[in-house]
Amino acid sequence: MYRTIRVVFQFFFLGAFSLVSFSQGHEIKVKVEGYTQKSLILAYQLGNKTYVQDTAVADNAGVFVFNGKEPLKPGMYIIAEPPAKELLTILCDERNQRFAVKTTFKEPVKNAVFTGSVENKDFNSYVQFIVNQRSKATDLNSKKEDPAANAVDIAAIDKKLNELDLAVNQYQKNFISKHPGSFTSLIIKANTDPVPPVFSGTAEEKNRQLLYWTRAHLFDNINLAEEKLLRTPFFASKVDYYIDKLTVQQPDSIIQAIDRVISLARASKPNLQFFLTDLLNKYAKSTIIGMDAVYVHIALTYYDKGMADWIQQENLDKILTNARALEPTLIGKIAPDFGLSDANNQLIRLYDFKAPLTILFFWSHESDGCRKTAGSVLRVADRFKDKGVRVLTINCADLPAGIEAGKAFITQNKLESLTNLSGTLKIGSIKSQYNIRKTPQLFVLGKNKKILFKNLSGEQLEEQINYFVNLNE
């Protein structure tokens, strides 16, 4: 019961609905009795952000008119008191964007009366039904939580809650059956979760089966290529739930989930554009180690294949350049080989440096962060020396003066026991290979020089090395 009513209400800001003809632009007239402000805002939600579409000023009769020669893009729109107090939610699709609504400031949803849209009237009736059912459920739950309620009372309350649940489900089924092509039915269906089968086994096995089933069927009732749903509060959040909650938070699993979302949305260019842009930005900003692999996958699989034709060439070039720079040093790849001179002017090549675990510490002598990280690197090297952990420190200076200053850095930070490398002629290409744009940078490599960790802080280095060593003992 509670799940059904909560699901229904997650898409309502307040509640009203309408349809509009693209060929005629749009005109929405709003009259709010008891409202004293001079302006109203028309806004919409896209993803997790709300954008202002238009602002209307009241005429002499107190009517606010939102109009334009171009149609509004289909979806939910919020009528709000500035700066952000929501009064009503309306819906527009391609068939009708010309209507009027009259209501009161005190109870804008309850008293909303729409003209110019039969479907809007039906939708408003549906909203009122849900509001009433939700109110009844809230009252019953309050009684159920009363300490004085006994087992008989609770059983009676549960029965009434179940009856409310059945009433909501039946109303929704009847509405969809009566109005199969309406925007309202589309929203109701999109917010109705598929019902899983009964699973067998232990509690753990049942939970695992439910997770797999939910992951496979989450989008059964929602079309990710439906542009009408793009500007609704539940659309993007359902995809976020799928990726963030139902998917194992490892790059390979997330990539598989994203590919599924894109395949379901790609029939609609606006929806495809939203998801590709949103997901690329999300993983470009991620601070979770290893998630740059997701960014690289999106960029090289979709942007590099011409699927993001809305983006300017200059920005596309930046995205692809960044992705290609990240690709060689993604976690799981074999680290690029390089050779530099040590303190004795002997050439040391990475692939010739034998160790079960190799730490690469890229540093600059003028960086306070590098001095702090040097202490962590030294502690790890001393603590895990008998476990085969070895360190290569790489001075990122590309001028002779930086090489000399680096010698003082090594002495001051007591790094003489480590293998310290430098070289003005080769360091530029090595920094490019490892995408070193700032220092310090730490990489942890396995026995075959596979990248295990990267972009670690000094504290994280100690934690990860300790975890890895204990795991493999």
Polymer length in residues for the chain: 473
Higher-confidence residue of 253 and 117: namely: 253
pTM score: 0.87
- Please tell me the predicted confidence (pLDDT) of residue 11: 45
CA distance 359 to 381: 9
- Please name every residue paired with 95 in a beta bridge, in sequence order, or none if there are none: 21
Q: Give the largest CA-CA distance in the chain.
A: 89
Q: What six digits make up the tokens of 2? A: 């509670």
Q: How confident is the model at residue 361 (pLDDT cuts 50, 70, 90)?
A: very high
Buried b (16+ CB within 10 A) or exposed e, 339-372: ebbbeeeeebebeebebebbbbbbbbbebeebbe
- Residue 192 CB neighbour total at 10 angstroms: 18
Mean pLDDT of 24-30: 91
Place of tokens 């849900």: 130
Q: How confident is the model at residue 91 (pLDDT cuts 50, 70, 90)?
A: confident
Mean pLDDT of 29-36: 96
Q: What six digits make up the tokens of 380? A: 């790890």
CA distances from 277 to 274, 280, 308, 354, 432 (A): 5, 5, 9, 43, 27
- Please tell me the predicted confidence (pLDDT) of residue 119: 76
Residue 197 has pLDDT above 60, yes or no: yes
- Please tell me the predicted confidence (pLDDT) of residue 7: 40
Long-range contact set of residues 251-257: C-beta below 8 Å, sequence gap at least 24: 251/290, 251/291, 251/293, 251/294, 251/297, 251/331, 254/291, 254/294, 255/293, 255/294, 255/297
Q: Strand, coil or helix: what is 162? A: helix
CA distance 2 to 168: 10
Q: How confident is the model at residue 367 (pLDDT cuts 50, 70, 90)?
A: very high
Residue 270 has pLDDT above 90, yes or no: yes
Mean pLDDT of 268-280: 98
CA distance 392 to 357: 11
Asked whether 297 and 326 are in contact (CB, 8 A), the reply is: no
Per the prediction, the chain carries an average pLDDT of 91
What residue type is 284 in one-letter code?
A: A
Percent of the residues in the chain that have a pLDDT greater than 90, as a whole number = 85
- Please tell me the predicted confidence (pLDDT) of residue 470: 84
What residue type is 150 in one-letter code?
A: N
- Please tell me the predicted confidence (pLDDT) of residue 199: 96
- Please tell me the predicted confidence (pLDDT) of residue 94: 81
Mean pLDDT of 49-75: 95
Separate counts of helices (H) and strands (E) for the chain: 14, 15
What residue type is 113 in one-letter code?
A: V
Q: Strand, coil or helix: what is 260? A: helix
- Please name every residue paired with 173 in a beta bridge, in sequence order, or none if there are none: none
Pairing label, strands 98-104, 26-33 = parallel
- Please name every residue paired with 93 in a beta bridge, in sequence order, or none if there are none: 96
- Please tell me the predicted confidence (pLDDT) of residue 128: 83
Q: What six digits make up the tokens of 179? A: 């109005």
Asked whether 453 and 358 are in contact (CB, 8 A), the reply is: no
- Please tell me the predicted confidence (pLDDT) of residue 348: 95
CA distance 435 to 335: 12
> Which tens digit of pLDDT belongs to each residue from 9-19?
444 433 333 33
Q: What six digits make up the tokens of 299? A: 């960029």
CA distance 157 to 148: 13
Mean pLDDT of 105-128: 87
Report the chain's terminal Cα–Cα distance, integer Å.
Answer: 51
Q: How confident is the model at residue 97 (pLDDT cuts 50, 70, 90)?
A: confident
CB proximity list for 374: less than 8 A, separation 6 or greater: 361, 363, 393, 409, 413, 415, 440
